[in-house]
Structure formats: structure tokens, C-alpha cells
Structure 1
Amino acid sequence: MSTDDAPLAGSVAGPPAPLSPLAAAGWWALDYLDAAKQQLRVLALPKASKRWPTGDVGKPTILLLPGVYEHWSFMAPLGDELNRRGYRVRVVHGLGANLLGIFETAARIARALERIPTPTAGLVIVAHSKGGLVGKRILVGDVDRRLGLHGVVAVATPFGGSRLARYLLDPGLREFRPDGATITELSGAASVNSQIVSVFGTFDPHVPEGSVLAGARNVQVPVAGHFRILSAPETREAVVAAVEALAPTAARANPS
């Protein structure tokens, strides 16, 4: 599925246009304010198992994968919307702040998925930032065939890395260097790109290179920010449409 094959509404061919320094600084501030609010949200949310307990067994199960330094609660707006549309939603516990390497994280998640019953209608990963890279790594292995993994919906994911990672000391963040071994290897695994829908906004302060992925479906939503995009209604609609595009048979058989 490329951007030329039945493109989703909002599909684009290139990265977002750059903003002026003043406008970019303003969006940085708003984005971090939103991130702070989301960090506090974890204190008020019930456990994920109580939040999304049921759904249509004829629809694929959704697995939420957050980004680095993120709890699953960052993705609660997307999980709520997908569950409202009839999808069962699951999260992975035990990742902490998601600071392990991308490949190690993918291996842990793959092992965890193999210990649970295969969902009747398969699985779709919905991920944010680093979670999208973890999802792509899982697609590269053969676990996707065993689990019936339809694909990955990645929101604000640095598929080409982020040049800002060069200036950071944290190894968990330096892994995003565009010329680093992790990003280089994942970029070379282009055969799975057709199983990915990349959703991104008009400006991402953490991913100046943009999130366009060649060979994938690329969908831009009219929202700025790396974190603010997760709670925007336009993003929710784009993610639901992306899930249905990756698993069209299940979606048509069980309309919401």
C-alpha cells in the first residue's frame, strides 16, 4: 500500500514546510505544555485493562506503543476513540519509560505477544514516535505472520531519525541519529513500508526531518506538535481510517 494506492484523505508526497524561528519556538512551548499535562494524566487514569475491556472480535485488536519517556496514557485519546469504534485495545506493561533500545524493545514485545492467544481478526499496532520504529522492527521479523499483524499506524515517528539526537547525551535518545546504526538498518528494511501508515502534523519540533516514509501511506493532519498531535480530533480520525485501510476486510465485515 503506497501513497498511490487508494490514498487516505490528507495523504501527501513530501515533508511539512518549515516554520519561522518565532513560530517554531511558540509551538515548542505549547507542545511541552501538552506533554506535561499528559505526564500528569497517568495519576488519574484507571488501568488499561479496565479502560478498554471489550470490543468486536471481528475487528483486529489494537496494540498501543508509546514513545520514549512515555507511559501508555499518552496514547489514551487514540485508545479511547478506537475502543469507541469497536476495537479491543491493549497495552504492553513492563516497559517503564520506554528507554531500552529499539531492537531490544521490539524483541521483548514480540516475545510477549507470542505468549498470548492470537487475536481472531489479527493485530494492528498504533504507535507514537519511537513506538513506530519499534513497530517497524517487529514487522521486519516473522512474528507478524504468526500473529496476523496487519501493519503499523505510526504517529509522529522519526523514520529517518532526528538530527537533534546528535546533541543529546541520553543513549536512549541518541539512538535516533540519522546516521546511527539503528536508523540506518531500519531505513534499509523498506520491504515492510507498505504495511505502515505514517501520520504526522504540520510541524514537529522533535523531528525536523519529518515523518514521510517512502513506500508507506503518508497522511498529514492540520495539527502542529510532537505531543499535541495525539489528542487532536483530526489525528483520531486519521488513525481510525489508517487502521481500516490496513485491515479492510475486517472493517467492512464489522462496520462501526
Structure 2
Amino acid sequence: MPHRDRLRPVDLAREHGLSTQAVRNYEDEGILPTAPRTPHGFRQYTPLHAQALRTFLALRAGHGHQDAAAIMRAANTADHDTALRLVDDGHARTQRDRTTLDQVAAALHGLLTDDPPTPARPLTIGALAHQLRLRPATLRAWEKAGIVHPDRDPTTGHRRYPSDAVRDAHLAHQLRRAGHPLHQIADAIAHVRDAGGVGPLHQALDDWRAALHQRARAMLAASGHLARYLDLTDPAEAP
């Protein structure tokens, strides 16, 4: 190995502000290719390892640690098909998240425009079905899909829909009329609940959209690093 191509763990670590132990751990986990050892057992890294570390850290910023590690392990075994499929899966998840965000934003606008009534006390399943012009069986199906969560009367066991469940049902009704499947509606309603209601959801949506933009840009940056690394590890390019 030419002397100029010999790198120590500390050389890789310094570039990214990591510890040398972190670099060794990445090799042990298969994120970096196995480094040759000196007769005394010291690791000898190369520019290939340096590019592997740059690629992993860039991928981690966009795809998360677990998926980035899986992509690198595939690349390090020359399984480029799997590596690229994992990248495609990450982009597809981001697109699904963006679609869900758009659906929530559109439904939220409609919900605020329609201003659904807030019941003074929990509604029965029949009363809520009448309000939405649905069959009670539809509300039960939505409950099974995780879209609405009614309470139960402790005496009779009958369903009771408090104000937040009524809100979720109105929001679900609008999404359903727009033709969205139940699993997408369940995701949208979950974001409303996580935000603490419709009002706080405005800021949550802005934060969510900003996070998606950041993730997508990180994925784009990672693609360049990965393309260079795949060129280096492509068996067809080997001398």
C-alpha cells in the first residue's frame, strides 16, 4: 500500500469530529469495509474508507442510522442492487410523508371552514352518525382502523364520542370524501392528535414540512457521496 494511501483511525475521525473508537465501531458494524492490519495489528485505512465514512454520515442525515448502515453494508459486499433499492425505499417513504402532510393540510383547511360543532357533552354513535350523515357501521369501521377513539359508558358500555373524537370524525369524513384510504386517514388523524388538536396543528404542519425539506435535501446530498462510493466498490470497475 503506498504510504500516501495509509490513513489512521484518527485521520478519519478528525475530519468529522468523531472519536477514533466510533470509527472502529463503524468498521466492526460493517459500515466501513474491513481494513487491513499491520503486523502489529494496527488498522490501515485508505481513501476508500474515508469515502465510506463520508457516505455513511451523509446517508444518516437523510435516511437515519439504521437505513444508512444497511445501505453501506450492501455497498461493502458489492450488492449495489440492494443498496439502491434501500435508497429508493427511503425516497418513497419521504414522498408518502409529503402526501400525508398535504392531505392533512387540505383537510385542516376544510375543517376550519366548516367549523364543526363542539358538543356540550359526548355524542352517542347514533347522534354522531346523524350529524355526519353516515351509518353507525361506518363509525365502527373507522374505530377499528384507529381513526376515531370513542369512550365507553361505564354503566352501559355504549360508545360515547367526546369533542376530540367528534373533531377526528369530521376530519376523517372530509378525507374520506376526497377518496383517501383508511390507513392514510389514520395517519393524518394521528398527526392531529400528536399536535394536541387542530389549532396547534398549524405550527406542527409548518415544522413537519420544514423537516421534510431538510430530509429531502440531505438525501440529495447523500446521493452524490453514495454515487462516488459505488463507483469505487463496483466490481466491474476493478482493475
Could you tell me the TM-score, scaled by structure 2's length?
0.25
- Specify which structure has the higher proportion of strand: 1
Could you tell me the TM-score, scaled by structure 1's length?
0.24
- Specify which structure has the higher proportion of helix: 2
